Structures are given as structure tokens and as C-alpha cells.
């Protein structure tokens, strides 16, 4: 993945501004450009200084102010500037509105109204005019064009009417200074409300950024007499560093516990409300808090490689991959402004020349059409909903890579599961021990010999004999040795040889196959063990839930067909396939995808190709790194199936919310434009309702934060 440079941009007042910047930079040859309207940032490839300066110049030529983040152009100051602009505009607009309610002769004077409106118009030109002119030069007119034309038309017409009728009392009928000022003031107010609301849609991003530790206590010269603790910034941490974390501190990097025991709060990362105990060899994540105890960890991933950094990046970039439903809105928005200007002109011509409406009123109808027709709600309909949803998912341990993933997940018709590590825990357990010889000797040998192996099956046997110390020694062993891939051998004081291993490693044709472990004394078989991997306790419940969603579950595994059949029957899956190689899984997904929208759930290296080929790939966070990298969704919460169901619910609710937002945006314009055109909406009311249409869309998206 190439490095990125992030620029801070001031002056973006709507989502269509972001679209305009993107298209302009694309025209200038900068193809990999991502504009984040919500955070006021533009992300480009890591470019040479000369090219980067050109990008900044091009953005500034559109009427915005761009700079590198290092130069101090932080977004935080933008809101206070907007508040100042709104405050000044409101201060001068209020006296212009007073004559509508109270008869004050001085405020009816054209010169006084002109003087009061000048500061507001200047603010409007500086705030909206630059962006409008830049978008016109770019050939992609934005919402600011409509606001600028509407307010300036009212102001210029008022000045012209006043100048031409200085000695005529009728001049009052040509004064619309209050209309010009009110349009600007109300739209500024709408921008202010909109941006305050947008802050809430990115609260998940702020929360995740806030829990990122800035310092770490690195152990220098570990395990020597010179061992000491040095506090460093996290950017100086490297893999294999040894770090100590005490009670109340946040873990600075992803790693493995080397020493100590601690109770860790992982709620911010996984959504798990109960703290978890971590012991030696357990994995820990950056950003989580040590509630009690202290541990030393070996650092494995630092900086941008940690799960926390991945979550921040995914939430930030979530709106880049647009659902197809948004692309429809983008296409309409791109041609919307020119169409509205045309409708406004037609409205004036019809009003004045066909319906014989007075010139002032014809102009007001035309201006009302311009102001009411805000395409901004269309631009906000999808990214606000996606941002809230992916943020909520991230806080619950579900990493979703882009808004289009949510749309594709909601379309799922078939869901294919890997077995081992997905439907099962990946941990082995003893199903049965079959004694052929003396039970006491067999138990002692099984418990003793497997203490010398770290094989997963050995761990299952050791777990079965966890009270090993209570067993009476049945034989005295002089030599015990593990041979990788062959099992464990031992010799007792009388020279008798014992072998504990698989059917293949023992290589005795006279033995009955079908068991996982065999115990041999000399030439005599004294015990066999049948092993099974544990089925996740909520697997059957998940499959039943999936069926209620009219989604077909299928199991696809590399395990034996017999074991696949056993697991499938236990959890309620009717269609299953065993003994599948990675290439077989890939071919199956390719073939199935021709007739169905397929979601694949897996965790292993052998699932990576199938995950990448499926419509949506979902990886267990405890699985192989490559499986997580090739998937579209990663479930890092240990309650994987709860997270899986929640991912489906979030996808369903998000698409429903986007459709509601787009309906409102389209419906609003379809209804509002004709009403404004026939003169039932004044420009002032139009500007107020336009501002609140954006707020309604954002508010509807924010419901996703609390919706169950």
C-alpha cells in the first residue's frame, strides 16, 4: 500500500464541494484522490514536494484553502470562524427584518437597508462566492452557485430599483435587501447546524483516536543486570521490544504477554463489557486498559500495523467505497445545479411574460427556486449513514471495509462457512478413549507422554488429564522423546518401548484405522483415542437465525467428510462438502457466485483466496493474518457469531436508512421546486427549509447510533 499525504482543507460547505475537488484533481492528472468532507481533509498519494504544491494550488484555485497538516491548518478552527460569520450576518440581518413586524421609519430608508446589507453580502461573497466561482471554472457547479446567484440577484435588483426610483415612493416595492441578507444568514446557520451534526457522525473516529496511547514504557537491556525502564513515544516502538504495562495504563502496541497476569478492559476494541484475564502467551491489543495487575509484553505490531490503527483507518475511509445506491445520487447531483438554474430562468420567464406577474415578484419566484433546490442532502444521504454505521460496528469489534460492503452484505443469498476455527473453536477435545489393555497403565502413559508435546492434540489430552499429579505411577520411564510428525516414544526401566502417535506415524497395517491417536506397548495396542474439535456453543443458534433471514447456509471444509457430516447434522446445515483443498474452495465460490450472492466466513490461510472471491468475505479475528487482509469484514470480538449477526443487522439498517435519506432528498426537491416556482415560498422561507433538509438527513443517519 502506497504512502498517503493528508491535507487540511477549509471552505468545503457541502458534500458536492468534495465531489468538485475530486473531479478537478482527477482532470489535472491526480487520480488517487480521496476527499473527506466530514473531516475537512483531502488524501493524495505521497507526492514529491513540487507535485504536492501543485495539488494545494489547484484546490485553492477552486476557492478553498488547503495546506499540509504540519503547517497548522487544523479543521478545529473552521467552526469558530463559521460561528463568527454567522454572528455578524445575523447582527446586521435582524434590523432588516424588524420593519416586517414594527413600523420604524428609519429602517424603511433604502440607504439604511443598503448599509445594513453590505456586511452580510460581503460575508456571503467570501464564504459562498469563492467556492461557487471555483466550481464554475471547474465545470461542476455546486450548491454555492445557487446561493450566490440567489442572494446577489436580490441585492443587485434592490440597488438598481433604488437608483432608478430615487424620487419615487414606489421604490419600496423594488427593495429586497432583507431577502439577500436573510438567504446568506439562514444558509450560514444551516451550515453551522449541519457541521455540528456531522461531528456526531464521526464520534466513533474521535473515540478510537482518543484511546490510542502516545507513550510506552520500554524495558532496555532486559534480563541483564543493566535492565531498566525507559519512557518513549510510541513511534519509537519496534517489533520484539519488551514493554511493561501497569494498572490503569493503556497497552501501547499489539503483542503477546511474556510475563505476568492482568485483568484487561477490551470494551473499546471488542465491545465486550466484561474484563478478560490475560496470562503468558495470550494476545493483547493496543488501546486496551490494564484494570488490575501488570504485564510485560513482546511487541508484535506497532503504529499503523496495530488493530486499533486499522480500525481508525477503516472508519475514516469507510465512505470511499460507495454503495451503488449512492452512485445514483452522485450522478443526479452532478447535473442538478445546471438543471435548477434552467428551471429558475424558466420560472422567471413564465411568471413575467406568460402569467403577467410583476417584475419584482417574478424575480422572487426565480430566486426561491434557486435557494430551495439544495443538492446537498443528496450528497449527505449515504456518507453520513455509512460513517455512523461503520463507527458503531468498529466500537463493537466489527471492522467493515467500506460502505459498499454493507450493501453487498445486505444482498446475501448464500453464506458459506469454513468448519475448523469457524463453526468449531479450532481447539481439540477428547471424544472418547478406547482401552484395549489395562486402563490404569494407559491413563498414566497418556498423561505422562503428552506432557512432552505442544501439538494441539497433545494439548487436548493434557487438558483431559489436568489432574495428572493425582495419577499413581504405573510404570517407571527412563527415556521420553518427541519426534516431530511421528509422536512421542518412551522406554521403561525394563527396556519396554512405548509409542504414542497417529495411525500414519506408527505405520502398522495390522491396526484398525479410524482413530486419531494410538498407544502401543511393545507390540501390543493398549488404547486408542478419538479426537473432535469443539463446536462453537452458539453455532446451531446462528444457523437457525440465518435460515430465518432466507439465507442458505453451506459448510465447506478440508476436514474428513465423516466429521463434516457429523458437525453439519449437529448444527442444522443440510449442504456440506468435506476434504476440500484451497483450490477446491476457490472453484466452489466461483461457481456458486454465478447464481447467488455469496458471503464466505473463514479464518485460515486456506480460506484466503475464497474470501477474496466471494461477494463478501468475513474473517474471524483470531484467524490467519492473510485471511483478515483479503476479507471485507473482520470480527475481532471473541463472540464471533454475535458479531456476525450484528454485522448483518447493521447492513440491513444502513441500507434502509440510506434509502430513506435519498427518498427525503429527492422528494423534498420534487415537491419544493414547483411550490417555490408558483410563488408559495418566499426566498427567506426557502433558505430556511433548505438548511433543515440537510439536518433531517443527518438526524436520520444518527438514529443508527442508538437503533437496536
- pLDDT value, residue 668: 78
Q: In this structure, are 327 and 353 located in the same domain? A: yes
| End residue of a domain, out of 535, 550, 576 | 535
- What CA–CA distance (Å, rounded) separates 502 from 512? 12
Would residue 307 count as lying in a domain?
no
Between 208 and 475, residue with greater pLDDT: 475
Q: In this structure, are 365 and 402 located in the same domain? A: no
Active-site residues, by number, are 418
319: pLDDT strictly greater than 60: no
Between 581 and 578, residue with greater pLDDT: 578
255: pLDDT strictly greater than 90: yes
- pLDDT class for 44, splitting at 50, 70, 90? confident
Whether the Cβ atoms of residue 218 and residue 230 lie closer than 8 Å to each other: yes
CATH assignment of the domain containing 639: 3.40.50.1000
Alpha helices in 439-493 (DSSP H): 439-449, 456-464
- Stretch 330-339: mean pLDDT, rounded? 71
Q: In this structure, are 381 and 418 located in the same domain? A: no
- What CA–CA distance (Å, rounded) separates 380 from 665? 9
Q: In this structure, are 196 and 328 located in the same domain? A: yes
* Cβ burial 176-206 (10 Å sphere, 16+ → b, else e): bbbbbbbbbbbbbbbbbbbbebbebbbbbbe
- DSSP three-state, residue 432: strand
Whether the Cβ atoms of residue 312 and residue 205 lie closer than 8 Å to each other: yes
- pLDDT value, residue 629: 66
- Stretch 246-267: mean pLDDT, rounded? 89
The mean predicted confidence, pLDDT, of the chain is 81
116: pLDDT strictly greater than 90: yes
- pLDDT class for 179, splitting at 50, 70, 90? confident
Q: What is the pLDDT of residues 617-643, one digit of tens each?
A: 998 876 545 555 668 888 887 778 889
Q: What is the CA radius of gyration of the chain?
A: 34
In angstroms, the Cα distances linking 489 to 70, 174, 463, 527, 528 are 64, 105, 20, 15, 16
* Cβ burial 133-166 (10 Å sphere, 16+ → b, else e): bbbbebebbbbbbbbbbbbbbbbebbbebbeebe
CATH assignment of the domain containing 439: 3.40.1110.10
Count of domains observed in the chain: 5
Q: In this structure, are 546 and 512 located in the same domain? A: no
Alpha helices in 324-358 (DSSP H): 324-349
Q: Residue 518 pairs with which residues in a beta bridge? A: 501, 528
What's the DSSP call for residue 512? P
Between 219 and 209, residue with greater pLDDT: 219
- Stretch 193-213: mean pLDDT, rounded? 67
In angstroms, the Cα distances linking 188 to 125, 244, 367, 683, 698 are 12, 51, 17, 15, 17
| End residue of a domain, out of 646, 673, 688 | 646
Would residue 499 count as lying in a domain?
yes
- pLDDT class for 75, splitting at 50, 70, 90? very low
In angstroms, the Cα distances linking 84 to 76, 79, 296, 396 are 14, 9, 51, 38
Whether the Cβ atoms of residue 367 and residue 2 lie closer than 8 Å to each other: no
- pLDDT value, residue 73: 44
User: Residue 691 is placed in which grid cell?
Assistant: 438548511
Would residue 209 count as lying in a domain?
no
What is the domain extent for residue 504?
425-535
Q: In this structure, are 415 and 432 located in the same domain? A: no
Q: In this structure, are 104 and 27 located in the same domain? A: no
Q: In this structure, are 564 and 507 located in the same domain? A: no
| Least confident stretch, 9-18, 254-263, 457-466, 564-573 | 9-18
- pLDDT value, residue 548: 95
- pLDDT value, residue 16: 66
Chain position carrying cell 473527506: 36
User: Residue 246 is placed in which grid cell?
Assistant: 501497569
- What CA–CA distance (Å, rounded) separates 527 from 518? 6
Would residue 574 count as lying in a domain?
yes
- pLDDT value, residue 523: 86
Between 366 and 34, residue with greater pLDDT: 366
Q: In this structure, are 47 and 10 located in the same domain? A: yes
Q: In this structure, are 415 and 429 located in the same domain? A: no
CATH assignment of the domain containing 262: 2.70.150.10
102: pLDDT strictly greater than 60: yes
Between 458 and 633, residue with greater pLDDT: 633
32: pLDDT strictly greater than 90: no
- pLDDT class for 329, splitting at 50, 70, 90? low
Q: Residue 229 pairs with which residues in a beta bridge? A: 219
| End residue of a domain, out of 535, 551, 574 | 535
- pLDDT value, residue 394: 81
442: pLDDT strictly greater than 70: yes
Whether the Cβ atoms of residue 144 and residue 174 lie closer than 8 Å to each other: no
Q: In this structure, are 404 and 470 located in the same domain? A: no
What's the DSSP call for residue 553? E
395: pLDDT strictly greater than 60: yes
96: pLDDT strictly greater than 60: yes
In angstroms, the Cα distances linking 534 to 173, 460, 464, 537, 604 are 84, 11, 14, 8, 17
User: Residue 386 is placed in which grid cell?
Assistant: 455509512
Q: In this structure, are 520 and 429 located in the same domain? A: yes
Would residue 688 count as lying in a domain?
yes
Q: Residue 255 pairs with which residues in a beta bridge? A: 284, 299
Question: 644 φ, ψ to 5°?
Answer: -65, -45
Would residue 81 count as lying in a domain?
no
pTM above 0.85, yes or no: no
- What CA–CA distance (Å, rounded) separates 321 from 337? 24
Pairing relationship of beta strands 497-501 and 487-492 according to DSSP bridges: antiparallel
- What CA–CA distance (Å, rounded) separates 567 from 141? 60
Q: What is the pLDDT of residues 358-388, one digit of tens each?
A: 888 888 888 888 877 766 666 677 777 888 8
Task: Give 61's contacts (C-beta < 8 A, 6+ positions apart).
Answer: 134, 137
- pLDDT value, residue 76: 46
Which of 190-199, 408-417, 485-494, 603-612 has maximum average pLDDT?
408-417
User: Residue 197 is placed in which grid cell?
Assistant: 451534526
412: pLDDT strictly greater than 90: yes
What angle (nearest 5°) sits at the alpha carbon of residue 383, between those of residues 381 and 387? Answer: 125
* Cβ burial 650-669 (10 Å sphere, 16+ → b, else e): bbebbbebbebbbebbeebb
Whether the Cβ atoms of residue 341 and residue 146 lie closer than 8 Å to each other: yes
- pLDDT value, residue 1: 41
Would residue 117 count as lying in a domain?
yes
Would residue 450 count as lying in a domain?
yes
- pLDDT value, residue 581: 74
Amino acid at each position: 500500500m502506497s504512502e498517503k499525504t493528508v491535507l487540511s482543507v477549509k471552505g468545503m460547505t457541502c458534500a458536492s464541494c468534495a465531489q468538485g475537488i475530486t473531479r478537478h484533481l482527477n482532470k489535472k492528472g491526480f487520480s488517487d484522490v480521496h476527499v473527506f468532507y466530514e473531516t475537512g481533509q483531502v488524501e493524495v498519494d505521497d507526492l514529491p514536494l513540487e507535485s504536492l504544491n501543485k495539488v494545494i494550488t489547484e484546490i485553492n484555485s477552486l476557492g478553498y484553502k488547503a495546506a499540509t497538516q504540519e503547517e497548522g491548518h487544523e479543521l478545529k478552527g473552521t467552526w469558530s470562524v463559521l460561528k463568527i460569520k454567522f454572528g455578524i450576518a445575523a447582527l446586521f440581518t435582524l434590523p432588516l427584518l424588524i420593519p416586517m413586524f414594527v413600523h420604524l421609519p428609519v429602517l424603511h430608508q433604502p440607504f439604511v437597508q443598503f448599509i445594513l446589507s453590505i456586511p452580510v453580502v460581503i460575508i456571503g461573497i467570501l464564504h459562498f462566492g469563492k467556492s461557487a466561482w471555483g466550481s464554475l471554472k471547474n465545470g461542476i457547479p455546486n450548491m454555492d452557485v445557487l446561493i450566490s446567484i440567489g442572494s446577489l440577484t436580490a441585492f443587485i435588483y434592490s440597488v438598481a430599483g433604488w437608483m432608478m426610483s430615487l424620487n419615487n415612493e414606489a421604490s419600496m416595492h423594488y427593495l429586497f435587501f432583507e431577502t439577500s441578507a436573510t438567504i446568506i444568514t439562514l444558509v450560514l446557520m444551516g451550515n453551522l447546524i449541519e457541521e455540528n451534526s456531522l461531528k456526531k457522525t464521526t464520534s466513533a473516529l474521535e473515540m478510537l483516536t482518543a484511546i490510542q496511547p502516545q507513550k510506552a514504557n520500554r524495558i532496555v537491556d532486559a534480563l541483564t543486570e543493566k535492565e531498566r525502564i525507559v519512557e518513549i513515544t510510541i513511534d519509537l516502538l519496534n517489533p520484539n521490544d519488551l514493554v511493561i504495562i501497569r494498572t490503569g495504563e493503556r497497552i501501547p502496541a499489539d503483542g503477546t504477554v511474556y510475563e505476568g497476569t492482568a485483568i484487561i478492559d477490551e470494551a473499546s476494541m471488542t465491545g465486550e463489557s466484561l474484563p478478560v484475564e490475560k496470562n503468558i502467551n495470550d494476545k493483547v491489543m493496543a488501546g486496551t486498559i490494564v484494570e488490575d495487575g501488570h504485564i510485560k509484553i513482546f511487541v508484535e505490531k506497532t503504529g499503523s500495523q496495530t488493530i486499533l490503527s486499522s480500525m481508525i483507518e477503516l472508519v475514516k475511509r469507510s465512505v470511499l467505497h460507495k454503495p451503488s445506491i449512492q452512485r445514483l445520487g452522485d450522478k443526479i447531483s452532478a447535473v442538478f445545479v445546471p438543471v435548477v438554474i434552467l428551471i429558475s430562468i424558466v420560472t422567471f420567464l413564465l411568471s413575467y411574460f406568460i402569467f403577467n406577474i410583476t417584475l419584482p415578484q417574478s424575480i422572487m419566484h426565480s430566486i426561491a427556486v434557486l435557494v430551495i433546490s439544495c443538492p446537498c442532502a443528496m450528497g449527505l444521504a449515504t456518507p453520513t449513514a455509512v460513517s455512523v454505521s461503520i463507527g458503531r460496528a468498529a466500537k463493537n469489534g466489527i471492522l467493515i471495509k467500506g460502505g459498499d460492503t454493507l450493501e453487498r452484505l445486505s444482498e446475501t443469498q448464500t453464506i458459506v462457512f469454513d468448519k475448523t476455527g469457524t463453526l468449531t473453536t479450532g481447539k481439540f477435545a477428547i471424544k472418547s478413549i478406547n482401552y484395549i489393555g489395562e486402563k490404569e497403565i494407559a491413563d498414566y502413559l497418556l498423561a505422562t507422554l503428552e506432557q512432552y508435546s505442544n501439538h494441539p492434540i497433545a494439548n487436548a489430552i493434557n487438558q483431559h488429564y489436568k489432574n495428572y499429579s493425582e495419577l499413581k505411577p504405573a510404570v517407571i520411564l527412563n527415556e521420553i522423546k518427541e519426534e516431530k510428525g511421528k509422536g512421542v516414544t518412551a522406554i521403561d526401566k525394563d527396556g519396554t518401548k512405548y509409542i504414542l502417535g497417529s495411525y500414519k506415524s506408527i505405520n502398522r497395517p495390522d491396526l484398525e484405522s479410524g482413530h486419531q491417536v494410538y498407544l502401543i506397548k511393545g507390540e501390543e495396542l493398549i488404547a486408542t483415542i478419538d479426537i473432535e474439535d469443539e463446536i462453537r456453543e452458539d453455532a446451531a443458534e446462528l444457523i437457525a437465525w440465518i435460515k430465518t433471514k432466507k439465507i442458505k447456509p453451506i459448510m465447506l471444509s478440508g476436514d474428513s467428510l465423516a466429521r463434516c457430516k457429523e458437525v453439519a447434522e449437529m448444527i442444522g446445515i443440510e449442504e456440506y462438502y468435506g476434504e476440500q483443498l484451497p483450490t477446491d474452495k476457490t472453484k466452489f465460490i466461483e461457481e456458486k457466485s454465478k447464481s447467488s450472492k455469496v458471503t464466505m466466513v473463514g479464518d485460515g490461510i486456506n480460506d484466503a483466496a475464497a474470501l477474496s472471491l466471494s461477494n463478501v468475505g468475513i474473517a474471524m479475528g483470531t484467524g490467519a493474518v492473510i485471511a483478515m487482509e483479503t476479507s471485507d469484514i473482520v470480527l475481532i470480538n471473541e463472540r464471533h457469531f454475535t458479531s456476525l449477526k450484528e454485522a448483518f443487522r447493521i447492513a440491513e439498517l444502513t441500507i434502509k436508512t440510506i434509502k430513506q435519506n435519498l427518498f427525503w432528498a429527492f422528494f423534498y426537491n420534487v415537491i419544493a421546486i414547483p411550490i417555490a416556482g408558483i410563488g408559495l415560498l418566499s426566498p427567506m422561507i426557502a433558505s430556511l427549509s433548505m438548511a433543515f433538509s440537510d439536518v433531517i438527513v443527518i438526524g436520520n443517519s444518527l438514529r443508527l447510533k442508538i437503533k437496536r
